[in-house]
Structure 1
Amino acid sequence: MILIYIIASTIIISLFSLVGVFLLSIKESILHKMLLSLVAFSTGSLLGGAFLHLLPEAFNVIDPTLVMEITLVAFICFFLIEKIVHWRHCHDDDCDVHAFGYLNLIGDAVHNFIDGMIIASTFVVSIPLGITTSFALAFHEIPQEIGDFGVLLHAGFTRKRALFLNFVVALTSVLGGIVGYFLASNLASIIPYSLPVAAGGFIYIATSDLMPELIKEVTPRKSVSSFLLFLLGILTIYLFVLFE
């Protein structure tokens, strides 16, 4: 039953890669506003998921000091993973544009695989925790997949090929979910330690990938609306936790 939840959640999140075609056809000013709103809400939901759900769950079963140490190590590891998979980001005129596109696909595949493992590890702990985690990751996935789709178009891929490759790569989250489930099921003792690892990942994604986009916005009205959506993301997770 848990495996079905994991597969369903990762497939649904993978389908967000198809949103790119629809949203890229929208007027640029409207698209920018939509993406900023999604990023703001996603930032709040990821931080809320880490600090209001994952870490409190971990504190119940692991020494708090160890929880914070694992969270910090996980944060550092996510930073290293992102640096490694993007080590060949090319800015030279002689850069092979298609090679850059394929490199982006590899990096996205690793990212999605890890997301799948995070989802699996939280579902094994409890179904409500898994649902909350999936919810937080889903809203992060939309702007990420749209960005990846745009990169592939810039790399010279056709819209149809970019969409297909983006969707195939998104499905690695399903593989990550299945692998994560069997690892957690056969190594039950590691399940509690997966919670601070997931929290470290959430904090890294929110603070390094998403929050900088919010900081760039200097228009007072948009800044206020982004901040309110950020708080709404946190509040949504709080309500999930309160009524689970």
Structure 2
Amino acid sequence: MSVILNAIISVIIVSLVSLVGIFSILLRKKNTQKFLLLLVSLSAGTLFGGAFLHLLPEVVADHGFTIQISLLVLAGVMAFFVLEKFIHWGHCHHHPAFDFLHSHKHSTEKNHHHHEKENPKSQIAVLNLLGDGIHNFLDGLVIAGSYLVSPAAGIATTIAVVIHEVPQEIADFGVLLYAGLSKKNALLLNFASATISILGAVVGLWLGSNSDTFIPFILPFAAGGFLYIAGSNLVPELHKKCDVAIESFWHFVMMIVGIGLMYGLTFLG
């Protein structure tokens, strides 16, 4: 019963993170971008740490390091690559989405005029919500699967997902505003998409209770997803601004903090 309760509480917390987008409007553009890049650094560290220090060790300890495990990690990488292609993930992680929160007309006309010809704004909103819903469903599956393995793995996975979701949800909120939605509707739709993680957790708990193959599948698959997001989306974002040495130093520090946080959670047992 505690596993079910912990998993459901965790995905509810993850869903509530979607509401942080509204607060980004209250911050100055310069401060928002600096804050987001620190969060991106921390997120990259927690995702790398979650994959290498929790998900993979758990599945290898129970099933050994096999070719099948490696293939499932690669399957996770490729699945998130396909998902990214489907929803044009660039809108979610690149700064134009963040810029829009502060400069509507200028950023819209200058940065997105060509894109609008190929992708109407309404299509951008639909693709973003659909892709984000799939992503959130997978988050729920992974969190549930992690709690079925151990409390430490569940907590570590939840923290990694939450930290990653903060900059992600702020960017998603910006994309929905760019698509023409009001602040209220953008916030509500983004939250509705986030709650799909609860469904994912319920499905994950059911699969874990009725199938012996769910845990050996979901953990390496999730590790591949974590590695793809951190390596393909988050780290490249940090390389876009390398003219200030002190900022690069703090990005490195925050990545180490994220990895250290995941390492500390290994002692929970």
The CA deviation at 1:128 is 1.7
State the AA in 1 paired with 2:8.
I
Where structure 1 has 5 or more consecutive residues not aligned to the other structure, the ranges are none
Runs of 4+ with deviation above 6 angstroms: none
Instruction: Give distance in 2, aligned partners of 1:94 and 1:235.
Output: 44
Give the letter aligned to residue 206 of structure 1.
A
Identity across matched positions, percent: 45
C-alpha separation in 2, matches of 1:101 and 1:32: 23
Q: Which one of 78, 81, 87 corresponds to residue 80 of structure 2?
A: 78
Q: How does 1:68-217 map to 2 (within 5 A)?
A: 68-86=70-88, 91-93=115-117, 95-217=119-241
Shift of 1:94: 5.9
- The alpha-carbon deviation at position 212 of structure 1 amounts to 1.1
C-alpha distance after superposition, 1:45-86 (max 9, x if no partner): 100010111111111122313322221222112212222344
Q: Which amino acid aligns with 1:68?
A: S
For 1:95 and 1:40, the matched residues in 2 are separated by 31
Q: TM (normalized to structure 2)?
A: 0.86
Q: Distance in 2 between matches of 1:97 and 1:81?
A: 19
Contact 1:86 1:107 in 2 (8 A): no
**Corresponding position of 2:60:** 59
- Aligned with 2:254 (options 224, 229, 234): 229
Please give the root-mean-square deviation of Cα atoms over the aligned residues, in Å. 1.6
Counterpart residue number, 1:220: 245
Deviates more, 1:58-67 or 1:125-134: 58-67
- Residue 26 of structure 1, CA deviation: 0.6
Tell me, in whole angstroms, the C-alpha distance in 2 between the residues paired with 1:243 and 1:44: 19
User: TM-score of the superposition, structure 1-length normalised?
Assistant: 0.94
Distance 1:94 1:56 in 2: 44
Aligned residue pairs, count: 243
Task: Please tell me whether the aligned partners of residues 40 and 214 of structure 1 are also in contact (alpha carbons under 8 angstroms).
Answer: yes
- 1:93 Cα deviation after fit: 2.7
Q: Distance in 1 between matches of 2:189 and 2:160?
A: 24
